[in-house]
Amino acid sequence: RKTLSTKPLVLTARMSSAATPPQAQQAAPDATLAAERRVTYLLDDHIGVHASPEASLRKPHTVRLTDNLVVDCGLDKHMTMVRSGGDGWSPAPAATVRRYHTDAYVAFLEKIELHGKEVANEAANYVLNNSVCFSETAWPYAQIYAGASMHAAELLATGKADIAINWSGGQAHARRDCASGFSYVNDVVLAVLTLLQSVERVLFINVDSVHASGVEEAFYTTDRVMCVSLHRHGDGYFPGSGGAKDAGERAGKGHNINLPVERGFSDADLEALLPPVVEAAAARYQPAAVVLLAGTGLLSGDRLGCMNVTLGGYSKAVECVLALRRPTLLLGGGGYTTSIATRAWAAATSLACGAAPLPLAELRPDHPCPQQLSETVMGNENGAAALAATREAALERIASTPARDPPVVPSPPAAAEASLPADGAAPAGAADKTAAAGGSDPAAAEASNGTPSAAEPQPAAAAP
């Protein structure tokens, strides 16, 4: 692929307990809940063509391998598989991407594929740092992962799914007017804005080696989104933001919770730090929906993360979020070693379906993906006292925010239709419920056409 460098099927299915292997039934955290989950998996059969060695863009290839592994393991029988095109979902059009990104930046992205030579000199105007390298198909690739994330958010907001999965999503670094890292379009922000048109509050959780800098910036001044981010920080590690003292501003004060850690972060460290903070945030904030960026950069053996988290520890992190029992969007985020990211995302998919992540050899002995993840042990630079202090500071910040009432969670369409009277009129009180869910919220209406408002999340100054 040529690059521009900045350097000189819709099928509804539920997973029944009879379809779950006996060992998976025993390991599932809540077998009853797992049997009731309606899981939707979004994919594009041709996403792999957007991988670009010249731009060091590996993720499209990794996502395609993940999709194959999910199907080869038989997980497609336990969830709805929604492919792009036809009756499925469509790549995000430019007008939709402009709900967050500026006109000038979107116009630049549109020109890269067919007029790259003409706009090459403009590239430096649309990057946050020199880590960005635009691939030739940066725009159609961004349209795919953003369209999938936004459609997944719509499924959750309308009660058509309990869990929606888009492993190609999670590109959390792009700003309104520029790219950062491998993030050309910030699908996380677009998905959250889609949710906010129907629900009042969203809890965003980032579990990755890199901080979700673009998401933090977008929602830094609003209380309609609470951001919790566990990431590696310091020593010049990308992107450099996400300090523990960054708490949010104005209405968003106290609603930004960063959990910065050092290299060598382990399973025990993860279990001691993340679940207490996530549980406290959910109990205090009472979100109507959850967005989890389940990056694999924190897994042992990742090329850049330099962490010691195993697949078991990663699975527990995903489980603690799923245990909140809220409509949940799972996004891929980072992951820089293909075999590790593929295996981890397939394991997370099985957890979403209510099954335990079984050894790959038992699921598909002939699959080319390595059956064992590499175990690269790094020196752990995280002290118990420092982690405890980070956890307690986060819990104190959460406690300082207003306690919210339980939200109105979107109901399945069938349940909503069953509640209608015989004459088709809306039942009494329906308007009140719609308003409570944010359906008639002026801020949500303005978010749909890109017009900022005092209550709508607005971009703040770039984080250092």
Q: Cβ distance 377 to 300 under 8 Å?
A: yes
Omega before 357 cis (within 30°)?
no
Cα end-to-end distance, the chain, whole Å: 32
- Strands 133-135 and 225-232, by their bridges, are unpaired
Q: Cβ distance 277 to 244 under 8 Å?
A: no
Q: Cβ distance 311 to 344 under 8 Å?
A: yes
Catalytic hit among 101, 173, 233, 255:
173
CA–CA separation, 331 vs 287, rounded Å? 18
Q: Other C-beta atoms within 10 Å of 364: how many?
A: 15
User: Is 173 a residue of the active site?
Assistant: yes
Task: Assign 57 to helix, strand or coil.
Answer: strand
Helix (H) or strand (E) holding 203: strand 202-207
Place of tokens 């770039």: 462
Please write down the long-range contacts of 103-106, taking CB distance under 8 Å and 24 or more positions apart: 104/177, 105/176, 105/177, 105/178
Please list, residue by residue across 331-360, b when 16 or more beta carbons sit within 10 angstroms of its beta carbon and e when fewer do.
Answer: bbbbbbbbbbbbbbbbbbbbbbbbbbbeeb
Active site residues: 173
